[in-house]
Structure 1
Amino acid sequence: MTTLRTPGPTVGVVGGGQLGRMLAEAAAPLGVEVIVLDPTPDCPAALVARDQLVADFDDEDAIRDLASRADVLTFEIELADQTALDRVSEDTGTPVHPKPKTLETIHDKLVQKRELEGAGVPVPPFREVDDADDVRAAIDDYGGPVMLKARTGGYDGRGNVPVESKAEAEKALESVAGPAMVEAFVDFEREISVIAVKGDDEIAAFPIGENVHEEEILRETVVPAGSSDAVAERARDVAADVLEVMEGRGVYGIELFETRDGEVLLNEIAPRPHNSGHWTIEGAHSSQFEQHVRAVLGWPLGSTDLRAPTVSKNLLADVEEPREAALSDLDHILETPGANLHWYGKREARPLRKMGHVTVTARENESTDDLLEAARDLEEAVTFRS
């Protein structure tokens, strides 16, 4: 039986960016307090969390301090150090969800792909590469282009480099600057994602979203996706298989390719709330952030049902060089029925940095095409040049 007292339970979060901020926002109505650990003073989550520990993500002493003040630890960034989390959890008895073992698997994309393929999860053809000759050999075997990926450290599309021809292999490998892998390029019909939740003894999944990327950065998510019912069911089945491999409770962002012949292939996994699930704040009965809080605490999960068709659109900084963050011309968003603004509180705008997002939910007989057009209009109306 779940019982609440005051003060309620505390979730310690390694990472205090926009995901930590939205976790804290979702935790508060549940009577749950959040403390974040982040190296940036006054990080985005600091405004809404109970407290912030200013420390690096791999600072074991700071993580130990965080554990002493929390009932459970989690993370909102893959830069969290799995070894430190594992040791702290073992020494203090404070559980970590998802488990550090899952974080270890996710950290290396090659390890991730091998483990998932071994479990029967469908993935594109892939291989480890050590030098440019290996990349060229992959092009021979898979055909061009191929996708070169940094095995570690990549996020928001960084570390992913399409290689169109053998002549580009050496330069592409230099740009990755570290251990790499290569995948066959998938001629997809659409990119989709499933935000799935692993609870104490239950799993759940939100309706699948259709994602649009440019320059390897997510720009917009449309829910429901334009996929057939059969593809949507297959995507949920693949997500359930992924959760079988992952250890520990929490939300998992599972990015997939829908091929032109209706197959579903795994792209990547994030063991945390995901950008493609931001639509759930307004578009679902319980957001991905509320679900993550519930899950890591071992509480019953909420409903993942769709409230209304929804589109989310990222607000990326339209600046040419770093500058103080300022978002202007907001009236159009604020005056539009069904539109919701989320500003992340980052102090510095950098080129193509995610500074916020806007969601638009359907009213009356609006289609997802109507919502997408409205979201794009709203995004075009704002500017980061005050």
Structure 2
Amino acid sequence: MTTLRTPGPTIGVVGGGQLGRMLAEAAAPLGVEVLVLDPTPDCPASPVARDQIVAAFDDEAAIHDLATRADVLTFEIELADQNVLDRVSEETGTPVHPDPATLETIHDKLVQKRELEAAGIPVPPFRAVEDADDIRAAIDDYGAPVMLKARTGGYDGRGNVPVESKADAEDALESVAGPAMVESFVDFEREVSVIAVKGDDEVATFPIGENIHEDEILRETVVPARSSEAVTERAHAVARDVLDVMDGRGVYGIELFETIEGEILLNEIAPRPHNSGHWTIEGAQTSQFEQHVRAVLGWPLGSTTLRSPTVMTNLLGDVGEERPAQLSDIDDILETPAASLHWYGKRDARPLRKLGHVTLSAADEDAAVEDLLETARELESAVTFRS
């Protein structure tokens, strides 16, 4: 085994949002420095990263500079350009993890679904869409509603449009405004996710989380998910099969549907730490962010053991005009045992923008997640945005 020493290497991260911020926070205790590249001056990661390069996510000269200052490159946003990363890695000798080839698969949801289906991963029925007639044909075959998805650029539910009838096909396609695909609508019992990690010669999965969405935005994650043991085992098996398809080391957020019949279907994959894994900071022996640091460096992975039942709730920008992002009335959170506040350092609050999260962990492993969820919702509802 390679001898590991700290202070250690430097990781260059394309993207400096909240994920980059939490990566830097996790890296520091390991003696690992983080450099970020982001077009927003003083981005959320900048206060905790070693340095920030202010540049676009596809600025090849800037990414080349980042690579020359780092021992490995990674990314916290899918807007990174796989071709630029490939060229920079070849020119500088700095490896990129996950592999840019994985980004190429992830960028196009239709390509992603085709590759996963070919690998035997269970996915909802889907097809490419060239025009509104393709949507109408899908409704004939799958029934209504169907889910129309932008093939590229969509995240956090953006670019996903439910189509209730054939009469809505034209308007739905126009709203997506670009290459699209359509899927059958999954009648699910719950949405779940597995945060999975691909290391140098090992893989690991965190306990399955149950995700609660509203308006296509993740509001809460409950761990452990209120699923049967058989469903939990199946979810972990599918996640490990997904890792076999992905190239390169790192954390992967694997979103799944648990159907009414107890089957598991793949929804989408994020080749990076994921919002539904934020609970791991307090709720697991090793957070998803520390795991990503370990994985991209080729270091041994940490334990994914659940400390105790945990609930994570997002703090989202409220409805209204854009305003400076400043929380108030956080006393209840700070006074509640086992509640942890994470503020992302974003300057502006916009409707449904993720500005932070609160994690609430139980005192013992027998606590009811329903009680935790109720308390977490009370804490979240008490927070206000100062005008």
TM-score per shorter chain, which class? over 0.9
Give the Cα separation in 1 of the matches to 2:73 and 2:317: 31
> Is 1:183 the counterpart of 2:180 in the alignment?
no
> Is 1:345 the counterpart of 2:366 in the alignment?
no
For 2:370, the equivalent position in structure 1 comes to: 369
1:237-248 map, 5 Å: 237-248=237-248
1:26 Cα shift?
Answer: 0.3
For 2:69, the equivalent position in structure 1 comes to: 69
State the percentage of identical aligned residues. 82
1:243-273: CA deviations, max 9, x gaps? Answer: 0000000000000000111110000000000
CA contact (8 A) 2:334 2:341 kept: yes
1:167 Cα shift?
Answer: 1.1
1:319 Cα shift?
Answer: 3.6
1:330-383: CA deviations, max 9, x gaps? Answer: 001000011000000000100110000001000245310010001100010001
1:321 Cα shift?
Answer: 1.3
> Is 1:131 the counterpart of 2:131 in the alignment?
yes
For 1:380, the equivalent position in structure 2 comes to: 381
1:5 Cα shift?
Answer: 4.6
1:18-45: CA deviations, max 9, x gaps? Answer: 0000000000001000000000000000
For 1:207, the equivalent position in structure 2 comes to: 207
Give the Cα separation in 2 of the matches to 1:41 and 1:6: 30
One-letter amino acid matched to 2:50? R
Give the Cα separation in 2 of the matches to 1:6 and 1:315: 35
Give the Cα separation in 2 of the matches to 1:57 and 1:7: 28
Give the Cα separation in 2 of the matches to 1:104 and 1:348: 31
CA contact (8 A) 1:319 1:349 kept: no
One-letter amino acid matched to 1:315? L
1:262-273 map, 5 Å: 262-273=262-273
SS in 2 for 1:311: strand
CA contact (8 A) 2:7 2:30 kept: no
Give the Cα separation in 2 of the matches to 1:325 and 1:319: 13
For 1:105, the equivalent position in structure 2 comes to: 105
1:280 Cα shift?
Answer: 0.2
1:24-173 map, 5 Å: 24-173=24-173
1:3 Cα shift?
Answer: 3.9
Matched length? 386
1:25-66: CA deviations, max 9, x gaps? Answer: 000001000000000000000000000000000000000000
1:212-361 map, 5 Å: 212-361=212-361
For 2:22, the equivalent position in structure 1 comes to: 22
1:4 Cα shift?
Answer: 4.8
One-letter amino acid matched to 1:144? A
TM-score (norm 1): 0.99
RMSD between superposed Cα atoms in Å: 0.9
SS in 1 for 2:46: helix
CA contact (8 A) 1:319 1:384 kept: no
Stretches of structure 2 that go unaligned for 5 or more consecutive residues are none
One-letter amino acid matched to 1:59? D
One-letter amino acid matched to 2:195? I
Stretches of structure 1 that go unaligned for 5 or more consecutive residues are none
Give the Cα separation in 1 of the matches to 2:311 and 2:6: 37
1:88-130: CA deviations, max 9, x gaps? Answer: 0011110000000000000000000000000000000000001
1:70-92: CA deviations, max 9, x gaps? Answer: 00000000000100000000111
Quickly say closer, same or farther: Cα 1:234–1:79, change in 2 above 3 A: same
One-letter amino acid matched to 1:343? W
One-letter amino acid matched to 1:268? E
Give the Cα separation in 2 of the matches to 1:261 and 1:127: 23
SS in 1 for 2:154: coil
1:129-183: CA deviations, max 9, x gaps? Answer: 0111111111111000100000000011100111111111111111110000000
Give the Cα separation in 2 of the matches to 1:6 and 1:316: 37
Give the Cα separation in 2 of the matches to 1:59 and 1:266: 33
SS in 1 for 2:267: strand
SS in 2 for 1:45: coil
SS in 1 for 2:98: coil
One-letter amino acid matched to 2:164? E
One-letter amino acid matched to 2:211? N
CA contact (8 A) 1:324 1:348 kept: yes
CA contact (8 A) 1:4 1:31 kept: no
One-letter amino acid matched to 1:139? I
Give the Cα separation in 2 of the matches to 1:135 and 1:281: 42
CA contact (8 A) 2:124 2:184 kept: yes
One-letter amino acid matched to 1:73? L
1:236 Cα shift?
Answer: 0.5
SS in 2 for 1:212: strand
SS in 2 for 1:351: coil
Give the Cα separation in 2 of the matches to 1:263 and 1:4: 42
Give the Cα separation in 2 of the matches to 1:145 and 1:261: 19
CA contact (8 A) 2:58 2:81 kept: yes
1:8 Cα shift?
Answer: 1.8
